[in-house]
Amino acid sequence: MPTSKHSTQNTSAALANRFEQVAFYVPPVVPDLLPNEPDSLLNLLPFKAVFLPLRVEFAQWGNSDPTEEDPETLTLYWNGREVRTLIWTAPVQPDELFIEVPVGFLSEGQHRLHYQVKLFNGMRSDSEALEINIDKTPPLLADDDELIFPPDVISNGVTDRYLKEHGELTAQVPPYLGADVGDTVSWYWSDSPVGKQLVDRLTLTKAEVGMPLHVKIPADFILQLSDGLRFARYEVQDRAGTALQRSLAVALHAAVTPPPRQLPPPFVRQASGSDYFSDLLPADAVAGATLTIPASASLEPDDQVTVFWGVPGAPGAYQTDTPISPGSREYTVPAKYIAMNLNSRIPLHYQVKAYDGQLHDSAPHQVSIGRLHGLPLIHSDAIRDNQLNLAKLGAQAAFSLPGWQFMDAGQFITVYIEGVKRGAIDQKITLPVVTDMAVPGAVTELAVGSVTKSALQALEVDYQFYVRVKVSFDDKRTWVEFPMITPTLIDQP
């Protein structure tokens, strides 16, 4: 006897009982779910999706043969609650395999979705479950939600120096409630409290959740907006995309354009003149000179300042980076460097080495140092009443010179006699007393040398002769003429 295409009712019931508790089908699919990320909440529904019916899709099952007499059904369950049942009395079409879950089901929390298929033969089979998560609660920022900057930035603003030393500006995001993996933190540096100049954004990882969170604003970004009042703020949005949370902006003064250095010329306290030119009397600087940097010069506490007396490297030049006292703007120039520049004009300036190694030179000052006055006369015990008597002279005539202003070691002295030749008064002769003798230091009286009696006899008697003295203060580069004496040579018993 031929059998029907469909099994008998008893057979169908038996099969249904056999497979009723078996999860036979793949879980439903929710296309709107976010892609799963490591360490983050699985199967998360975007926040924007909770405002519209949620589309749930199903895979076509096998052994399907619905008819008017033996329909097939699919029932979707949401946390065990029936959402809707689809019924087919004809072959199932792919575009029919979905159900839209009403918005009322889309409450916050975790939800379990599964469906049950009843075949034409009455067999019922459940699918595997799909658990999805709905997050409607945004993170909650702290009551004091402004970015936390270093105290010196709050006090002094963001300066060119700060950026060069640190390379960036770092701030801490205050801890906020609901922080979780996948949260996006975006931060801004703008010229208004609600500016949109995005600096950068980051996505929280598992290691960052619960830890202090710091954001960085690169120096280049700050420099692009230049100087002025600037505002820093941040925004937080969770992975679901709930309402964006905006912090209040922190106002910071940006002074990132290096100010021009105001470095007016130095001056010599003992000299008189203008800002750029002055005259120094040697008598006023016997103990040295005081080179002074004006109070109007733009100096920072950690600037390294060097003052220069003369052209660096030239004879008589001097430089020092040690002020008279710490923090002072006055520097001592030893007397020997005054003497080495007698009767000349030299440049003065100072150089500032900033914290970043850059060198800044001041405007120059020209000081003219005058001649020495009141220089001593050379003398000899052999000269009396301005006469030198050969008849009463012993073997030689010795000469000495009293000490003079700026007398110091490193100087040189030359003494010589000029007169006319005995028997030929139209001819001049020179008798050296001492040549290029090194001065040993400051003394009251300096024995400079002698001339023998026989040498003096080469001079014509009853004529005056000159005893000339010259001293070099600058290593024999130039010579200063001292006053000469003009005794008369006689030969009277």
Task: Please give the backbone phi and psi of residue 53, each rounded to the nearest 5 degrees, phi first.
Answer: -55, 140
| pLDDT tens digits, 432-451 | 999 999 999 999 999 999 99
Whether the pLDDT of residue 3 is over 50: the answer is no
* pTM over 0.75, yes/no: no
Domain with CATH 2.60.40.10 in the chain: 9-134
Per-residue confidence band for 23, with pLDDT thresholds at 50, 70 and 90: low
Residues 56-74, mean pLDDT to the nearest whole number: 97
pLDDT at 363: 97
Per-residue confidence band for 51, with pLDDT thresholds at 50, 70 and 90: very high
Per-residue confidence band for 260, with pLDDT thresholds at 50, 70 and 90: confident
Q: Looking at per-residue confidence, does 64 or 5 come out higher? A: 64
Residue 173, burial from CB neighbour count under 10 angstroms (0-12, 13-18, 19+): buried
Determine the Cα–Cα distance for residues 279 and 366; give it in Å rounded to an integer: 9
| pLDDT tens digits, 104-142 | 999 999 999 999 999 999 999 999 999 999 999 999 999
Calculate Rg over the CA atoms of the chain. Answer: 52
For the chain, the first-to-last Cα distance in angstroms comes to 186
pLDDT at 259: 83
Task: Write out the two tokens for 164.
Answer: 């060069």
| pLDDT tens digits, 170-180 | 999 999 999 99
Which residues touch 434 (CB under 8 Å, ≥6 apart)?
Answer: 413, 414, 415, 448, 449
Topology annotation, domain 151-255:
Immunoglobulin-like (2.60.40)
pLDDT at 106: 98
Homologous superfamily assigned to 9-134: Immunoglobulins (2.60.40.10)
Task: Please give the backbone phi and psi of residue 478, each rounded to the nearest 5 degrees, phi first.
Answer: -135, 165
Determine the Cα–Cα distance for residues 364 and 359; give it in Å rounded to an integer: 15
| pLDDT tens digits, 397-429 | 999 999 999 999 999 999 999 999 999 999 999
Determine the Cα–Cα distance for residues 30 and 347; give it in Å rounded to an integer: 85
Topology annotation, domain 383-490:
Immunoglobulin-like (2.60.40)
CATH architecture entry for 267-369:
Sandwich (2.60)
